[in-house]
Structure 1
Amino acid sequence: MSTVAARYAAALRESGGTLEELRRTADYLTECAPLWEALCSPAVEVREKHAVLDRLPDFTERENLLHFYKMLAEKGRMALLPEIVDAYRLLELHANKEGLCTLRCARELDEKQLGELARLLCRKHGYQAMTMEIVIDPAVLGGFVAELDGITYDKSVGGQLHALAQSLQKG
């Protein structure tokens, strides 16, 4: 996640927008391919992007969100919107003392394993709760790779094999 996206998310959160409103309107924009391409395109003039945003029916209830989207269009940063939504979600979780861990594993872990891992990561990072996003990745082979707060914990068979290969190459 880029620093720019994190800054935009923080500014939007301070302005009083909610994650639900941001998600709903961002989904509206990104799920319509022609609309999204036009809003992200440098070939489309800013005034035309503003005119399109002004005509969208779901944007009338939150004036600050409409202004936010117009600002992204003016700065040529509309393509950052999915990243901004992710950054906003992370800010919300952290405000509630909750972490977000992306867990890559070859197969689903059972509830007991997930709970133990979540408790361990909470203690290590000072969170009261942990949201686990699980990605099934056969390349992991076994074990898991956990990513949390920019730190990667590689406890995978694939990672161990890679480390062994590097060790053998070094002599």
Structure 2
Amino acid sequence: VNENSQTEEMVSEVKQLLELINDSPELEKALSSPILETDAKKKIIIEIFSNKVNSSLLNFLKLLADRQRIGILTSILDRFLEIYRENSNIALATVTSAVELTDEQKGLITKKIINIAGTEKLELVTKIDPSLIGGFVASVGSKVIDASLASQIKKLGLSLSK
């Protein structure tokens, strides 16, 4: 039970870390910079992350800086989450919609995707793309569900042109 809660805590921190890095292109650029010295990168890591992540994860980040691998941090963290999902039988679904989805809509879409994907656990990532006009596009693994207004208009245009 203790090991499982530690894993869940680590997963939560890794997700926060990825979000922080993805929200700050300057930070990612600084950590990947070949010009910035290792000590400077470690100082940045300590200043930004010391109160946000546990000591094990912080030490891992410093180790990556020492080994000059901190530039591929997002790839490493993404792979960690991928392995976690595989081991926990959690499917990752990406849903792109024209507007922000309500919690009720997310719940309905999650239920539909669980039925289609044949999985019990699902992690939902939402994105916004106004070019869809309306509806959504969901993808789980190699399966794609396109329920967007933009694709329906395109199909209608193709059928009218025949």
CA gap of 1:140–1:32, structure 2 versus 1, over 3 A, is closer
| Aligned residues of 1:25 and 1:58 also touching (Cα < 8 A) | no
CA gap of 1:97–1:26, structure 2 versus 1, over 3 A, is closer
TM-score relative to the length of structure 2: 0.61
Q: How many residues align?
A: 152
CA distance in 2, matches of 1:134, 1:55: 30
| Aligned residues of 2:95 and 2:126 also touching (Cα < 8 A) | yes
CA distance in 2, matches of 1:89, 1:161: 36
Greater alpha carbon shift after TM alignment, 16-25 vs 145-154 = 16-25
Q: Gaps spanning 5+ residues in structure 1: where?
A: 1-15
RMSD of the TM alignment (CA)? 4.1
User: In the TM superposition, what whole-angstrom CA distance separates every residue of 1:103-137 from its partner, at most 9, and x where no partner exists?
Assistant: 222343672x5444323322332311333333343
1:120 counterpart residue number: 112
Letter in 1 for 2:63: K
CA gap of 1:81–1:155, structure 2 versus 1, over 3 A, is same
Letter in 2 for 1:117: I
User: In the TM superposition, what whole-angstrom CA distance separates every residue of 1:39-89 from its partner, at most 9, and x where no partner exists?
Assistant: 221112345535x368558289634652454336634552x4345444434
Q: Gaps spanning 5+ residues in structure 2: where?
A: 1-6
1:97 counterpart residue number: 89
- 1:1-171 to structure 2, matched below 5 A, reads 18-23=10-15, 36-46=28-38, 48-50=40-42, 52=43, 56=47, 58=50, 62-63=55-56, 65-71=58-64, 74-78=67-71, 80-107=72-99, 108=101, 111=104, 114-165=106-157
Larger RCO (alpha carbons 8 Å, 6+ apart):
1
CA distance in 2, matches of 1:122, 1:64: 32
Classify the secondary structure of the residue corresponding to 2:63: helix
Greater alpha carbon shift after TM alignment, 55-64 vs 150-159 = 55-64
CA gap of 1:162–1:77, structure 2 versus 1, over 3 A, is farther
| Aligned residues of 2:50 and 2:58 also touching (Cα < 8 A) | no
Instruction: Report deviation, 1:152.
Output: 2.5
